[in-house]
A and B are shown apart, each in its own frame.
Chain A
C-alpha cells in the first residue's frame, strides 16, 4: 500500500529552523516526484517545493532561499528543511507524491504535520 507519513511539526520561534520528514512506503522516493504543500489555518492550499526523481528541485517564491527539499533513499524518506521561519509560515504541511507522464500533479497525500511559528 502506498502511504506517506509526515513528522517533525512543532512550535518554533520566528527566525528559527525546523526539519519536516515524510516517510514513504509502497514505493521509492528516489524515482518519484515528491512535493510539499502547506495550508495556513482556515486558508487554501499553497505549493511549497518539489523534487524530481532526477534530483531537480523547485520552490515557491515565498520560501526560496529559506527552505530546502531533500531525500534519503536509504530511509525512503524526504525532507523539508525550513530556516529563517516567519509567522506566515505557520501552516499544516502536507507531503505528496506526484504522478504524470509529462508534468506532475499530486496523486497521494500524507495527513499533514503542523508547524506553528510564534514567539
Chain B
C-alpha cells in the first residue's frame, strides 16, 4: 500500500487555515496516524485512528477520513506549526509513511 501526500510543500501565513491530504493506494479503513516533525527533532504523534487527537496536542489540529482519503487541518496556523507533516498507515505487520508535507512560512 502506497501513501501519497499533497501538497509536498505548502506556503502559508500565521492565522491561515491549512489542509493536507493523504491518499492510500487501497482502503486502509481508519488505520491512519499523523505526525509532526521539526528540523533536528524526532517526529511527534498528532492524530491516531484517523481522527483522534493525541493528548496534549492543541485543538486547532483536526483530522478526518476513512478508506483511501484523509485530511489533516490546522485551523489557525501558529508559528510553532511550521514543520513537516507525515501521514502513516498502520496494521498488524507493516507501517508506511507518506512522503511528507512541509509547511513553510509564506
Partner-B contacts on A (CB < 8 A):
35, 37, 44-47, 50, 58, 60, 94, 99-100, 103-107, 109-112
Contacts and interface: CB of A to CB of B under 8 A. Distances in A.
B99 A44 contact: yes
B90 A45 contact: no
Nearest to A48: B95
18 contacts: A35-B95, A45-B100, A46-B97, A47-B88, A47-B94, A50-B95, A94-B43, A100-B90, A104-B90, A105-B49, A106-B33, A106-B43, A107-B48, A109-B42, A109-B43, A111-B41, A111-B42, A112-B42
Contacts of A107: 45, 48, 54
Contacts of B96: 47
B91 interface: yes
Contacts of B91: 103
A58 B93 contact: yes
Contacts, number: 57
By secondary structure, the A interface counts as strand
Given A45-B97, A103-B92, A107-B48, 18 more contacts: A44-B98, A44-B99, A45-B35, A45-B86, A45-B88, A45-B100, A47-B95, A50-B95, A94-B42, A100-B48, A100-B49, A100-B90, A103-B31, A103-B91, A106-B35, A106-B88, A111-B41, A112-B42
A106 B35 CA distance: 9
Interface string B18-52: 00000000000001010101000111110011000
A109 B38 CA distance: 13
A36 B91 CA distance: 16
A47 B91 CA distance: 12
A50 B90 CA distance: 12
Contacts of A50: 95
A107 B102 CA distance: 21
A46 B97 CA distance: 7
